[in-house]
Amino acid sequence: MGKKIMWFVVFFPIILLAIPQLSDDVVVTTSTTPTSYKYYQSNIYWAAVGVRPATGNDWDISLYEETTFVTYNAGSGYYGDTVDFVVVDYNHVTTPNWEGVRVTRYTGTGSATVEYEDNTESLSLPGTNSNVWTAGDVVECYDVYIPAGCSTKFTLNRTSGSASLGMALFKSNDAGYWAGRSSYQKICYGTGMYFYYTSPSDDWYGLVVWSRDANSGNYNVQIDTFPHPPPPSRWNRAIKIYDDSPITISTDTVVKWGQSQFYWNVVGLRSSSDWDIETYDKPFANWRAGSLGTGAVDFCVSDCNENPLDSMGAIVSLWSGTYSTVVEYEDGADMLSIGTNNLTWSAGHVVHAYDLYLSAGWSGQFTLTVTSGSADLSMALFNSNGDIYYVGRSDAVAEGTSFSFTAPNSDFYGLIVFSNNSSSANYTIQIGDRWSCAIWLTSGVPQTWSQDTIFKFVQNTYYWATVGLRSASGSDWDPYLYSPKFTTLRTYSYLSAFDFVDGDWNHNNYPDSCGVEVAWYSGSGSYTVEYEDGSDMLTGGHAVNGTFTWTAGDVIKVWDVYLSPSSYYYFNLDILSGSADLGIALLKSNGATYYGNRSDAVAEADYYGSGGDESFTYSVPSTDYYGLVVWSNNSSSATYKIAIQWHSSNINEPNSPTLIPLKFELKQVSPNPFLQTATIAYNLSKRTNVSLEMLDAYGRAVKALENCDKDAGYYNMMWDGKNSLNQEVPAGIYFCRLKTDENTAIQKIIKLK
């Protein structure tokens, strides 16, 4: 005891002062992960600390002995944006006591609310215990004394308000006890829900109530006692559901079914609101599994290759929202095989279970493809490791429309297919090595997808080649390039707008079998992917390489161009008609085996948007075949020319007569809007008189920037935001007017304060 007091006095001020302290019944919010707290427990009661994530986030909580965060005591890490909490029975843990709490964001970018409840309240048994739930609260904790052998029924009733409440009962076995949420004896969710419990020993038990949202309300905990265990009334009133027969419910409901097949089986629900599902054995005596996601589809699975065949039940409860839910049980008497499985999804169905036998060490790809219809399908793979197995959706070993998997053991695995909407479809599940499952890319033929997908192509020519990927607005998909086949990851591109990967088969071995994996990063839109084998050449020097057509929907093109190190080269992509938003980049391989991506380009221009020309200069270091890539940031069409011209020196402001623009053009002013100075770029295709002046919003002259004869070339002029009297002009709208002997062009400019 003396050493403990000395540690407290000497070290506590040094270690603990920087850690924020939690106070009883005071909620705090954090966006920093991880965040550490401390609390001081002086009451001989149960206590709890909970964390509630912001919607769409997942935060977990851990409890440590003292506040050195060395000795871990308990934690809670439920999947999704549900509430996690830890409990301590200070009836059997020494008080007063300091504890350390750490909350950590697992997924998402949002905040979390944390609350410590030191509990100096006891519940009456039997009795109705009425309480107020304050808006924003996370957890409340109560002591309840239950004598040995006493059979009880706990009922949670919300009498007013809209707080989404749940409750759980904990037991400490008359000893020091720290535990996470999943260690409960009994649990229930939603108003009017209840559980039965028979106490094995005299003790103070801990009852935790929590809210999944920040709403307020009044509630009570009704505790009834019985002289002996109550009859299984919940089983008797449960609704029986049948294989492949979805039902719709709109209130908290208990359901039951009988599993008679030695297969995997599943029970699931789908709703626009947030419903949860938990499974029990008959007669709701033992909890088996739960799925507590937020909206969409929740499901629980059971491997009856290993589990006993028996009747089971489920509690379906509404956490938030007002919409009904569709519930379906599926007994899984279906098998999948390695290869292509052609399947049908009926309208209204929620889940379907398949068995698939895999040998230890098998490695391959699972790909689900909707071939017709509009069902929003996905799949999840489960492995029971040859043991009794009841789990929820979050325990899947893999999930998605396309994923790779290596089997750790020989067994029948469970593959669950589920639909996020009520539509029908025909679909395939292809299972095999990644190469055989991949979808062929044909040069010059774009494909549009909205799911993670693997593709393949064989490069048979000694040219540059590329694969481009254009994500829908607000989405971000990334390409990964493998060779040979899917054995070695060669490169990947992860920019937020347009991505491409490429290779120089002037120096790579060919034919080369290449795999491409496209993976989702953010957003909800689709993507368009295109492979271009590059069997085309451009001419460098003083060359204009004809007129090209960009077809609507195309993604990317690539050419080989032979360049020598004797000069700087000026590359100009000139849009002649159309509204395609084209970009251009130059690729270099260093004369050796080369796989690269957009970030590896030695030069790039992608500035002027739809219908705009692009250009750059590059000093060539060595003679070689370079790759010139053109891509489109939108799906529009265009006609264009590519000019590649050399010059003896670097061209920051190209105005040499050896560099001849293809047409007259006043380019976009940059920056626009501007604060102090704006740069005005224009091209002249022939010698002419030039008048460049600034006008105000009424067309009145503000300042003449140029009025002289000029040769053909590329020009830049700066406006400093001043008038002809060298006075600063006010913020507002102005116009830049360029006039030559044959042409006039005007650009609007906005000056900021």
Query: What CATH class does 127-226 carry?
Result: mainly beta
pLDDT tier for residue 652 given thresholds of 50, 70 and 90: very low
If one counts every other C-beta atom within 10 angstroms of the C-beta of residue 142, the result is 23
Provide mean pLDDT across the span 82-104.
90
pLDDT at 9 over 70: no
Say what the pLDDT of residue 544 is: 72
For residues 735 and 715, the answer to whether their CB atoms sit within 8 Å is no
Report d(CA 505, CA 479) in Å as an integer.
19
For residues 701 and 689, the answer to whether their CB atoms sit within 8 Å is no
Lowest mean pLDDT among 114-128, 602-616, 652-666, 672-686: 652-666
Say what the pLDDT of residue 648 is: 56
Report d(CA 425, CA 419) in Å as an integer.
10
pLDDT at 124 over 80: yes
User: What is the residue extent of each domain of the chain?
Assistant: 2-117, 127-226, 240-330, 339-433, 438-652, 665-751
Say what the pLDDT of residue 659 is: 56
Phi, psi at residue 435, to the nearest 5°?
-65, -45
Say what the pLDDT of residue 95 is: 74
Task: Give the mean pLDDT of the chain.
Answer: 88
pLDDT at 512 over 90: yes
- 665-751: CATH architecture: Sandwich (2.60)
pLDDT at 445 over 90: yes
Question: Would the CATH topology of 2-117 be identical to that of 665-751?
Answer: no
The segment with the largest mean pLDDT, out of 167-181, 230-244, 336-350, 660-674, is 336-350
What CATH topology corresponds to 240-330?
A: Jelly Rolls (2.60.120)
Say what the pLDDT of residue 34 is: 94
Say what the pLDDT of residue 242 is: 94
Query: What CATH class does 339-433 carry?
Result: mainly beta
Is 0.75 topped by the overall pTM? no
Report d(CA 143, CA 122) in Å as an integer.
5
For residues 66 and 109, the answer to whether their CB atoms sit within 8 Å is no
Choose between 675 and 60: higher pLDDT.
60
For 452-493, the pLDDT digits (tens) are: 889 999 999 999 999 999 999 999 999 999 999 998 999 999
Choose between 125 and 496: higher pLDDT.
125
For 299-322, the pLDDT digits (tens) are: 999 998 887 777 899 999 888 888
If one counts every other C-beta atom within 10 angstroms of the C-beta of residue 669, the result is 19
Say what the pLDDT of residue 493 is: 93
Say what the pLDDT of residue 295 is: 61
If one counts every other C-beta atom within 10 angstroms of the C-beta of residue 310, the result is 12
- Outline where 405-536 has alpha helix (H): 434-437
pLDDT at 419 over 50: yes
Measuring CA to CA, which residue among 30, 106, 108, 19 is closest to residue 64?
19
CATH 2.60.120.380 fits 2-117, yes or no: yes
Say what the pLDDT of residue 149 is: 85
Report d(CA 532, CA 559) in Å as an integer.
9
Say what the pLDDT of residue 181 is: 93
For residues 520 and 453, the answer to whether their CB atoms sit within 8 Å is no
Provide mean pLDDT across the span 710-718.
84
Say what the pLDDT of residue 651 is: 45
CA 647 to chain centre: 48
Say what the pLDDT of residue 2 is: 33
Say what the pLDDT of residue 233 is: 60
CATH 3.40.50.11030 fits 438-652, yes or no: no
**pLDDT > 70 fraction of the chain, expressed in percent and rounded:** 94
If one counts every other C-beta atom within 10 angstroms of the C-beta of residue 401, the result is 21
* Sheet with 127-133, side-by-side order of all strands: 127-133, 217-226, 151-161, 193-198
Say what the pLDDT of residue 654 is: 42
Report d(CA 273, CA 189) in Å as an integer.
15
For 256-289, the pLDDT digits (tens) are: 999 888 899 999 999 988 899 999 888 777 888 8
